[in-house]
A and B are shown apart, each in its own frame.
Chain A
Amino acid sequence: MSAPLPLTAPAPRPTMPRWRALLLFDSKYTPLAITIALFVSMTVAGGIVYDGLLQPQIFLNLFVDNAFLLIVAVGMTFVILTGGIDLSVGSVIALTTVVSAVLVEHHGWNPWLVMPLMLLMGAAFGGAMGLLIQRFRLQPFVVTLGGMFLARGISFLISVDSISITNPVYMSIAEARLSLGGGCSLSVGALLSIGVLLAGIWLAHATAFGRSIYALGGSEASARLMGLPVAATQIGVYALSGACSALAGIVYTFYMLSGYSLHAQGLELDAIAAVVVGGTLLTGGSGYLVGTLFGVLILGLIQTIITIDGTLSSWWTKIVIGGLLFLFCLLQRLFAGLRRTRV
């Protein structure tokens, strides 16, 4: 015997007073808050242990030294938000540095022509992978793995040796610094990365494209039923990531002043780690670019602390990043579990 079903709708939950809503912030920001709290506590703890850490220039150097990582991680965040992954980013950086170096140094092309060309190349490369993933329902992991081999292979074919860049335009951009007063300054690459981050935030939260990305990551079937341009969004996201990788490659060229097919090896892992530590769910649909920024800063801070300490060996970077990844993945599972039980 079953109990009669209630015919009336369940009583609406009492609305929260505004002050409580402000105090108890939305639980969807919890991973982001944890990431920021981790960064702040690492900075404070590091500042107490190491004297030099709290200088403003050290903080700015996090941007200077990780500009390319931040740019790549912004593109990667979009891809991961749709539920995909892009393993080709490091190779595309290498390809960009090699092609730019060859065009500028060996063929005497105008750098101002080469840079937009590189962006186009990156976007086309990413878009082609996106097309394969979307059109033929292939797994992003394997397609971008093929892209990784292809981009690295092409750069090997073009040049095995490192090509140093002596072009005056590249040299002057590499040396240019924006002074912020008090002896602090930012490089062009760092400024570009901050610009990309801001543009990314605008794209994610103020455009139809951004909304489609979140919808696609939440549920592809629902997004399709809502009439959102699923195919165009999915291809667009990979093209965007490809363009970001190419831009990161240009910034990398400023940073290293050389084109080398072995540049940025394993950078895809750092980018994925930054995105995950930044609180973006790998299953897609949930996460923020601000989190990615702090993810990159945390990775940079670990590196900086290990450099300042001087006695810690370089492999501790990998172990600590692995540990952080573990911690954040576990936290994500915990939150996903909590959300499910609440529903």
Chain B
Amino acid sequence: MSARFKQLSGHTLFWPLLTLALLLVANGIFNPGFLALQWREGHLYGNLIDIVNRAAPLILVSIGMTLVIAVRGLDISVGAVLAISATVAAWMIGGALVVDHGVTTAVTRLPMPVAIAGALGVALACGLWNGLLVVRAGMQPIIATLILMVAGRGLAQLIGGGQILTIYYPPYFYLGNGFLLGLPFTLFVVAAIYALTHVALNRTALGLFIRAIGVNPVASRVAGIRARLITIGLYMFCALMAGVAGLIVSSNVKSADANNAGQLLELDAILAVTLGGTLLTGGRFSLAGSVVGALIIQTLTSTIYSVGIPPQVNMVVKAMLVFAVMLLQSAEFRTTVRGWLVRTERRA
């Protein structure tokens, strides 16, 4: 193994990117049209665009989850928060078709900016609740967020009155379905949020603080980092990401389903984060890795659909991925494998 390769493979992003590339290449071989991009009616079409577009909610939630995990936390309420945000937005916009002098116009219950702000505000409140339970009440993150995960869907159903809320307000659909400069608008939302987060982490001391808290919460607090405030802030950020994802999802399907929106999203997000090389034990994280992880998951789903494998296989493949990634991250496993290799070498 050359030193160059060793240096390259040591990079956090090496394995996630390799996995993604292999998946895409395999797709390209089995289905030559898969990687093609087309320019049609002023929009860019193709499987690659589709994958990124569909992955948008997962990417956003994974970005939030990465930072929570980086400070030794976990947020399993993101699916419920997504459902709450989607329902709040759908309820506030509501909308009905009113026929006025023979012209059908969509009328909203509240103006759209108010609805969006309301949904994001509720998501932030959810994050504040999670953060306070973890930091002030000292609960284990899994349990603290379990409360909202259980109650959250109930609350969302309460807001929606147990119905799937349909939205009849075309301007709102732009968020999840619109195109800007030929590309899906969601791409710009994701890119903007990623860029802002990246700048906040790398151009300020925030990234350093987060790593310090993840490595040793007590020492970082003693060193004068406002660990509690930052941790609460990160839970709020994670919930905010789930809230934005909720807006995108509800806009995309033009309705909000309190029961099924964002179902199992928390698990996909945790999987994306671990695939990207972030340690669940905190301290080491990679924002770009999580984005790649989310793209891997979506590519896998798209592959399974496009190759024609029954979609049921998806869960088994995901399970295998979870096990493989975990074992690769485990120091004990690597030692064991090294032990096997050495033994076989000696025997040979």
- Which A residues fall within an 8 A CB radius of B? 85, 132, 135-139, 141-143, 145-150, 152-154, 156-157, 160, 269, 272-273, 276, 282-283, 313-319, 321-323, 325-326, 329-330, 333
Q: Does B100 contact A (CB under 8 A)?
A: no
Q: How many Å from the CB of A41 to the closest CB on chain B?
A: 21
B137 pairs with A330, CB closer than 8 A: yes
A153 pairs with B322, CB closer than 8 A: no
Out of A141, A149, A330, name the residue touching B318 (CB < 8 Å): A149
Interface of A is mostly: helix
Q: Does B142 contact A (CB under 8 A)?
A: yes
Return chain B residues, CB-CB under 8 Å to A85: 142
| Cα-based distance from A152 to B143 in the complex (angstroms) | 23
* Closest chain A residue to B280, Cβ basis: A139
**Most chain B CB inside 10 Å of its own CB: which residue of A141, A269, A315:** A315
With A315-B153, A319-B154 in contact, is A272–B146 under 8 Å at CB?
A: yes
Interface stretch, picked from B35-43, B116-124, B229-237, B326-334, is B326-334
With A142-B322, A282-B143, A325-B146 in contact, is A149–B315 under 8 Å at CB?
A: yes
* Closest chain B residue to A332, Cβ basis: B139
List 27 contacting pairs A-B, 8 Å CB cutoff, sorted by A.
A85-B142, A137-B332, A139-B280, A142-B280, A142-B326, A146-B322, A149-B316, A149-B319, A150-B315, A153-B312, A153-B314, A157-B310, A157-B312, A157-B313, A160-B312, A269-B150, A273-B150, A282-B142, A313-B157, A313-B158, A315-B157, A317-B154, A318-B150, A318-B151, A322-B148, A325-B151, A329-B137
Q: Does B10 contact A (CB under 8 A)?
A: no
Q: How many Å from the CB of B218 to the closest CB on chain A?
A: 16
* Known contacts A142-B280, A273-B146, A314-B157, then 10 further A-B pairs from the complex at CB < 8 Å, ordered by chain A residue: A135-B336, A137-B332, A145-B267, A149-B267, A269-B149, A313-B157, A313-B162, A325-B147, A333-B137, A333-B138
Q: How many Å from the CB of A29 to the closest CB on chain B?
A: 22
A319 pairs with B158, CB closer than 8 A: yes
Return chain A residues, CB-CB under 8 Å to B140: 282-283
Q: Does B30 contact A (CB under 8 A)?
A: no
Q: How many Å from the CB of B61 to the closest CB on chain A?
A: 16
A156 pairs with B152, CB closer than 8 A: no
| Cα-based distance from A156 to B313 in the complex (angstroms) | 8
* Closest chain B residue to A326, Cβ basis: B147
Q: How many Å from the CB of B91 to the closest CB on chain A?
A: 15
With A314-B162, A317-B154, A333-B138 in contact, is A154–B316 under 8 Å at CB?
A: yes
Q: Does B155 contact A (CB under 8 A)?
A: yes
Q: How many Å from the CB of B135 to the closest CB on chain A?
A: 12
Q: Does B270 contact A (CB under 8 A)?
A: yes
| Cα-based distance from A252 to B147 in the complex (angstroms) | 26
A316 pairs with B319, CB closer than 8 A: no
Q: Does B144 contact A (CB under 8 A)?
A: yes
Q: Does B302 contact A (CB under 8 A)?
A: no
A322 pairs with B150, CB closer than 8 A: yes
Q: How many Å from the CB of B283 to the closest CB on chain A?
A: 15
Closest 4 CB pairs of A and B: A322-B151, A318-B154, A153-B315, A146-B322
Return chain A residues, CB-CB under 8 Å to B313: 153, 157
**Most chain B CB inside 10 Å of its own CB: which residue of A85, A147, A152, A316:** A152
| Cα-based distance from A65 to B183 in the complex (angstroms) | 52
Return chain A residues, CB-CB under 8 Å to B147: 322, 325-326, 329
| Cα-based distance from A160 to B158 in the complex (angstroms) | 31
Out of A138, A157, A269, name the residue touching B330 (CB < 8 Å): A138
* Closest chain A residue to B142, Cβ basis: A141
* Closest chain A residue to B311, Cβ basis: A156
Out of B74, B157, B319, name the residue touching A153 (CB < 8 Å): B319
| Cα-based distance from A148 to B312 in the complex (angstroms) | 14
* Closest chain A residue to B318, Cβ basis: A149
With A145-B267, A322-B148 in contact, is A137–B319 under 8 Å at CB?
A: no
| Cα-based distance from A160 to B314 in the complex (angstroms) | 13
* Closest chain A residue to B140, Cβ basis: A282
* Closest chain B residue to A322, Cβ basis: B151
B154 pairs with A315, CB closer than 8 A: yes
Return chain B residues, CB-CB under 8 Å to A323: 151
Return chain A residues, CB-CB under 8 Å to B152: 322
B151 pairs with A319, CB closer than 8 A: yes
| Cα-based distance from A52 to B323 in the complex (angstroms) | 50
Q: How many Å from the CB of B237 to the closest CB on chain A?
A: 22
* Closest chain B residue to A272, Cβ basis: B146
Return chain B residues, CB-CB under 8 Å to A136: 326-327, 330, 332-333, 336
Return chain B residues, CB-CB under 8 Å to A157: 310, 312-313, 316
